[in-house]
Structure 1
Amino acid sequence: MSPLCLLLLLTASVFSSEALGCKEMEVAVVTEESVWLVPENQLSVWDEITWRVRFSSGVQYRIVTLANRDNLVEVNTPAPLPRRITFHPGNLSLQIELVNKSDSGVYTMHVTSPSGTIDTTCFRVSVFDRIHQPNLTALSAHAELGWCNVTLSCQVQDANRVAYSWSRGASWSPAREDQQLPGHQSQLQLEITEGSKDTFYHCNASNAASWDMTTIDVKTPCHFPATDIFQSLFYWIIGAIACGLVFLAIGVIILCRCCKKQASSRPGECPVTIYDEVDETCFCRNLDGNAQGSMIGNTIYSEVLAKGQKPNTRAPREIGCTLYSTIQPHAQTLSRRGNSTQP
């Protein structure tokens, strides 16, 4: 075996042993924030401590080495620490401020005991963009016959590795009783009815470091235009009928009062006097035999009688008197006679 192949095998065995013995912990952080890497096990006795980093780009280098020589701690670094990285000897932790995506990688702390054993602790640091409020819109909405098909789209600007989740409720604010919907895509297809109550859909956008959400009421794009027109027309018809009934009742009441008032103020039957002028003096009777008259000169004076009433007879000497007759209801006769002397 060539020396080059042997060297590659030794290097691979070292890296594999480090990978197997590494107690890796996931650390997610938002850009422009700080992260503090604190090892869980605080060893009281150690001989050497070394912090290394292997970035996601593949580049790796040693950050700091602490050597315990005769109870004196020596800090050796291959280069001055970047201003954003701070090592804390008290708890052997490493602090990185104002992280960016290029800081993502595996940070490893190797602790060598006096006996020569090595304990390794790994921190996998992932830097994410901050999730801002998603933009939730209705891509399409089609309402027909009381049903509405809607396609919702939820998008986050300037963010990577975003996961989406959906829920449905009865108000703008999320609640525990909201129904969680399956699927983790940025788009959601749904179907609602006109009478649906849970029409508030919540979109939750998140990554390992941050999250945010927004809400939409799908009844806004699904306005059901035909049904709304019919409902408005129905309410207008009901209102018109009610108003018509009210006005009709008021008119009937006014008409009844007017008729009653006219009936109470109507005068009694007025007497009727009949005058008739003829050329000759004669006595005449009508076909029913209930009227008679006598003529003097050119004037005839008649008396109208009720049916069944006998006429009064007058002697010839009574000529020269004027008789005024009053028409009364059937079987009742009220007469008033007055004498006047003709010239």
Structure 2
Amino acid sequence: MAVWTLQSLLLWEVLLPVVWAQVQGLVGGSVLLEAEVPSGFRVRDAIWRSLWPSEKLVATFFHGAPETLYDSRFLGRTRLHSNLSLEIQPLEQGDSGNFSLLLVDTRGRTESRTLQLTVYEAVSRPTVQVFIAIADGTQPPRTCQVFLSCVVPNSSEVTYSWQQEGAAELRDPQQGLFIDSQVLRISLGPGDEDTIYSCIVSNPVSWDSVAVTPWESCLQNTGPGDKSYKDILLVAVPISLLLLLAGILSIWHCAFGSGKKRRNNSPNSTTTGTETPLV
């Protein structure tokens, strides 16, 4: 009878309107899936289920008796509170998915609620690299064009943003941001020696940041002996092509000479001539 009642409730849940809610959690932390029982609704039965990747019972409440010992991935990590909210701890990466709660009151009326849980990993500390654009003669003197690249290893769904120390927001941020704000282009002058820029990375449940002083890289990459990458390419590429061509000719010459010697020394080679018959 109890099995038939449970199956009937789950079947009836399909016909009920669904209310969605979004919940986020952090790997290793805890999350509370709230029941939100309607006012005046006297709960007799409650059923929590995990809907993905397959339907599994997580916790039930029948006539005042809570039960959470069911065969699911959440076994040993759940707690059904007195208000019928479900706590999961510690969270794992694979816990993301949909959960449903079916409530039945003492008159047989039902309420259904569905929640979507998304579990995120904590964002890793970002790494910022500083690239200096070589002056081409068109930019003002004593200025430095800088590209700041911010990278977070092994992270997904990360949002990037930049902050200049002491400024409410970056000047013309849309003109200097590239690749979903991972790269920032700025122009520095003598008054920016101590200016600090921070890359801020975040997801819905965590964030981290790292700060750099770009002018220090400008000083390290300027001087009378500096050459642009274009000058280096003009010298390196022709030399590389000549060396490659010389290597190919050498290999071809060796292969050709070796093949010729083998043909001359072969024991199966024959000599064509005329033979005078004896009379």
- TM-score calculated relative to the size of structure 1: 0.51
Picking from 176, 194, 217, the partner of 1:221 is 217
SS in 1 for 2:43: coil
How far apart are the structure 2 equivalents of 1:202 and 1:150?
14
Describe the SS at the equivalent of 1:107. Answer: strand
* TM alignment of 1:14-53, pairs within 5 A: 20-22=17-19, 24-41=20-37, 45-53=42-50
Distance 1:152 1:204 in 2: 12
Matched letter for residue 93 of structure 2: K
Q: For the residues of structure 2 that align with 1:30 and 1:47, how far apart are their CA atoms?
A: 33
Task: Tell me the distance in 2 between the aligned counterparts of 1:79 and 1:131.
Answer: 32
Q: Please state how far the C-alpha of 1:162 moved relative to its aligned partner.
A: 0.5
What displacement does 1:133 show? Answer: 2.1
**Which position in structure 2 is the counterpart of 1:149?**
145
Residue in structure 2 matched with residue 104 of structure 1 by the alignment: 96
Q: Which amino acid aligns with 2:208?
A: D
Question: Who is 2:57 aligned against?
Answer: 62
**Offset at 1:212?**
0.7
| Structure 2: distance between partners of 1:124 and 1:82 | 19
TM-fit CA distance, 1:221: 1.4
Q: For 1:204, which of 200, 204, 225 is the aligned residue?
A: 200
- Contact 2:42/2:105 (8 A) holds in 1: yes
Partner of 1:165: 161
CA distance in 2 between counterparts of 1:179 and 1:226 reads 29
Shift of 1:157: 2.0
Which residues of 2 match residues 1-12 of structure 1 at below 5 A? none
How far residue 121 of structure 1 moved from its aligned partner, in angstroms, is 2.5
In the alignment, does 2:79 pair up with 1:86? yes
- Taking a change above 3 Å as real, the CA distance of residues 14 and 198 of structure 1, as seen in their structure-2 partners, is farther
The letter for the 2-side match of 1:50 is: I
CA distance in structure 2 between the partners assigned to 1:124 and 1:131 by the alignment: 21
Residue pair 2:58, 2:75 contacting (<8 A) in 1 also: no
Report the CA distance shift for 1:124/1:166 in structure 2 as closer, same or farther (over 3 A).
same
Partner of residue 257, structure 2: none
| Structure 2: runs of 5+ lacking an equivalent | 1-9, 225-279
Counterpart CA distance in 2 for 1:178 and 1:132 is 24
**Alignment CA distance shift 1:76-1:207 (3 Å):** closer
Q: Which residue of 60, 65, 78 maps to 1:73?
A: 65
SS of the residue 1:21 aligns to:
coil
Q: CA deviation at 1:163?
A: 0.6
One-letter code aligned to 1:131 = V
- Aligned CA-pair RMSD: 3.1
**Given the alignment of the two structures, is residue 131 of structure 1 paired with residue 128 of structure 2, yes or no?**
no
How far did residue 14 of structure 1 move?
6.8
CA distance in 2, matches of 1:87, 1:194: 62
Q: Deviations over 1:157-190 (max 9, x none)?
A: 23221110112234xxxx6x35373454212222
Q: Equivalents in 1 of 2:154, 2:28: separation in Å?
A: 14
Please give the per-residue CA displacement for 1:234-275, whole angstroms capped at 9, x wherever unaligned.
xxxxxxxxxxxxxxxxxxxxxxxxxxxxxxxxxxxxxxxxxx
SS of residue in 2 equivalent to 1:221: helix
**How far did residue 114 of structure 1 move?**
3.4
User: Do 1:200 and 1:216's aligned partners in 2 also have CA atoms closer than 8 Å?
Assistant: yes
Alignment match, 1:120: 112
Give me the identity figure in percent: 23
Question: Post-superposition shift, 1:76?
Answer: 7.7
Determine if contact 2:59/2:66 at 8 Å carries over to the other structure: no
Deviations 1:291-342 (A, max 9, x none): xxxxxxxxxxxxxxxxxxxxxxxxxxxxxxxxxxxxxxxxxxxxxxxxxxxx
* Alpha-carbon spacing, 1:49–1:203, altered in 2? closer, same or farther (3 Å): same
Q: With the length of structure 2 as denominator, give the TM-score of the two structures.
A: 0.62
The Cα of 1:91 is off from its aligned counterpart by 1.5
Residue 170 of structure 2: which of 151, 155, 179 is its match?
Answer: 179
Equivalent position of 1:275 in the other structure: none
Q: Distance in 1 between matches of 2:130 and 2:51?
A: 44
